[in-house]
Amino acid sequence: MLASTTERAGVTGPSDPTFLDSEFRYVLFSVVYGIIFILGIFANLYVLFVLRRLREAKAMGEIRIYMANLTIADLLFISALPFWIGYYSRRGDWIYTDFMCRLAGSLFFINTYCSILFLGAISVNRYWAVTRPLDAASSDHRYRGIIVCVVIWVLTTLMTIPSLASPGTNTNKNNITRCFEGYHNRTDPEKKAVAAMHFAVIGMFFVVFILVVVCNFLIARALLYQNPPQSELKSATILSRKSNRSLATAAKPRGVKRRALQMLLAVVGVFVLCFLPHHVVQGPWTLAVLQIKQGWGHTDWDQETLQALNDAHQITLVLMGFNCILDPVVYFFATRKFRRFIMTQMKKIGRGDACSQTVTSQLSIDSRNHSQRLQGENLQVEVN
């Protein structure tokens, strides 16, 4: 995690005129992170409650595993927000230990890239549900979900080892302690190693982003233009007769397509709003911060360009933080049972009723009929 400011000429400190800073960031981060902390902790704890109830009903499989792990990653980041709020409220002075600096920065990194990878896994899962709906309806693939989650956690944790192993704080001559700032004082080989790591991470993001866009484009095309294969329609009709439901009633194509497309927009929207701007700016901003003197990575940008890059970087960091409160929106559109649970509880609250086991009981009934879902229902990109 690189610095959020650019410090020039080996002299640092807020009173130094050569210190490139974005003054608005101190108020912006303090306020926005405070809002994200309050909303995020309630939203994500509620998501864990819902997922727990769905687990009791055995109503969700692989995708529930992805959602639970993504929620845990969000909560890890939220748990570190009080430290960042304190840091920015003191105008970038870290008063905690060096270990806490490294840990807070690592949690930010883990949340960002766990979120990216888990949203990618959810997109692939939804694509699989569309292209092989009967298979998706008759199996939950929990073990595959567990393996994918383990791989994602191990990968992101390994990527944070350099940050955890190296000192994270730098104290300047004005006795101001910065957290993950001051890379400009390192040697050129060290700077190039840092730059290479950041560009590798940026490349990984764009690979996942392209995968998400392609998967969701193919899902949308399948929903809007393709008819289900006749063999699957026949199988679905047989299942429908067994469950005493007609194909026309079960399919509900318009509502199905609308909810599916809403889910696609939610997933792609989180990527475009929260992650894409940061990774577009991150490359040139990294080079501006490092100030490599010669060789690859060397830049000769004027002060105005450096200031613009630094200002843009602050905005993209704030946008990335919003993924903690936008992820639950993705869950709402991703699965029918998650949406049904929340809507039922909202209706109960509206009527003044206490929460009961009714929702869980209904979900259990749905789960027993899991293998009898129709092609039309499965085409909505939702695991039933």
Tell me the pLDDT tens digit for each residue of 265-321: 888 888 999 999 999 999 888 888 777 777 777 777 888 888 899 899 999 999 999
Query: How many angstroms separate the CA atoms of 100 and 177, rounded?
Result: 13
Check residue 173 and give its pLDDT: 76
Query: How many angstroms separate the CA atoms of 75 and 324, rounded?
Result: 8
Nearest 10 degrees: Cα torsion 280, 285, 287, 290: -150
Which positions ≥6 away from 120 have C-beta within 8 Å? 208, 211, 212
Query: How many angstroms separate the CA atoms of 81 and 301, rounded?
Result: 33
Query: How many angstroms separate the CA atoms of 204 and 116, rounded?
Result: 10
Angle at 233 between CA 232 and CA 235, to 5 degrees: 65
Check residue 331 and give its pLDDT: 74
Check residue 277 and give its pLDDT: 95
Class of domain 6-378: mainly alpha
Low-confidence ranges of the chain (pLDDT < 50): 3-19, 228-252, 354-384
Check residue 147 and give its pLDDT: 92
Q: Are 104 and 169 in contact (CB under 8 A)?
A: no
Q: What is the domain partition of the chain in residue ranges? A: 6-378
User: Angle of helix 323-334 relative to helix 303-321, nearest 10 degrees?
Assistant: 50
Check residue 375 and give its pLDDT: 41
Residue with tokens 């692939």: 124
Nearest 10 degrees: Cα torsion 384, 67, 326, 218: -60
pTM as predicted: 0.76
Check residue 244 and give its pLDDT: 45
